[in-house]
Amino acid sequence: MGLVKAAILGVVEGLTEFLPVSSTFHLLLAARLAGLPADEFTKLFEIFIQAGAILAVVWLYRRPILTRLDLACKTAAAFLPTAFFGIALYRPIKNVFFEKQWAQVFIFIFVGLVFIGFELLIRRGFIKLNKTIASLTWKEALIVGTGQVLSFFPGVSRAGAVIIIMMLLGYRRAEAAFFSFFLAIPTILSAAFFDLYRSRHALVTFSHQVLPLILGFVISFLVALMAVSWFIRYLQTHNLNLFGFYRFLLGGLAILYFLLMA
């Protein structure tokens, strides 16, 4: 992998990992556009850039992570159903949905429709957003963690699933995003370690490609720092419609691209 492609994928990961736009969908699409094969090195590279993105969240929220024991415990509780279903569903989802590009696109667009429909319900007063993260209960943490399982399907978005479920429970958008960042730490780290263990032989095989790995990691970290900070500020005064319309636009372009390349 060249350094330019490594840098581009690092930017894509850093921008999309914590926004409700599905980093998996973006990486799959970007890799296809860049002509990258789905080989062992590409999988290893994706692990590295994902680790860079999650390190950004750990750095930004290092103080709450160390001082808010109650939130850390509820985050761990929310992670339990994700871990259970992740082990059970990992192989079938990887073998089916990661190979079906049309299914990915339609899921990607459908979730955009969910965002816009959900915001309409809020404007009509059917859902009230008045709760803060301090009121999160153990039961709600388990519900959110179970809902996060939907993000296993490429195109859904882990952050999007968590934010929507928390808003359904009455939490403000920025508070929901904040918890999605917290829950991302054990979720992404465990997935990264699992995938790294499965690809451990690739660390030796591709040791000569260390520069693209480092570059992708660093760029993903720096871009994620900016993306997370911006997203929290954005949700304090805006809704999810922007991301819904973005999904329609990118999904439509992806359909057009696949039709032309067929």
Intra-chain end-to-end CA distance of the chain, in Å: 25
Q: Which residues contact 33 (CB under 8 A, 6 or more apart)?
A: 257
Instruction: pLDDT band for 259, please (50, 70, 90 cuts).
Output: confident
Q: What's the whole-number average pLDDT of the chain?
A: 86
Question: Average pLDDT for residues 205-224, to the nearest whole number?
Answer: 86
Band of residue 23 on the pLDDT scale cut at 50, 70, 90: confident
pLDDT at position 203, please? Answer: 61
pLDDT in tens, 45-67: 888 888 899 999 999 998 888 88
Of residues 213 and 247, more confidently modeled: 247
Task: Give me the mean pLDDT over the 84-113 stretch.
Answer: 76
pLDDT above 90: percentage of residues in the chain: 50
pLDDT in the model for residue 247: 95
Question: What DSSP character marks residue 61?
Answer: T
Structure tokens at 106: 């339609």
pTM given for the model:
0.88
Write the pLDDT tens digit of every residue in 117-149: 999 999 998 999 999 999 999 999 999 999 888
Closest CA to 24 of 88, 93, 92: 93
Q: What is the mean pLDDT of residues 80-104?
A: 72
Phi, psi of 171 (to 5 degrees): -85, 145
The pLDDT tens digits for 24-44 are 888 888 888 877 776 777 777
By the 8 A CB rule, do 1 and 212 touch?
yes
pLDDT at 237 over 70: yes
pLDDT at residue 116 tops 70: yes
**CA-to-CA distance for 233 and 229, rounded, in angstroms?**
7
Quote the CA–CA distance of 107 and 124 in Å, as a whole number. 26
Q: Give the mean pLDDT of 223-245.
A: 93
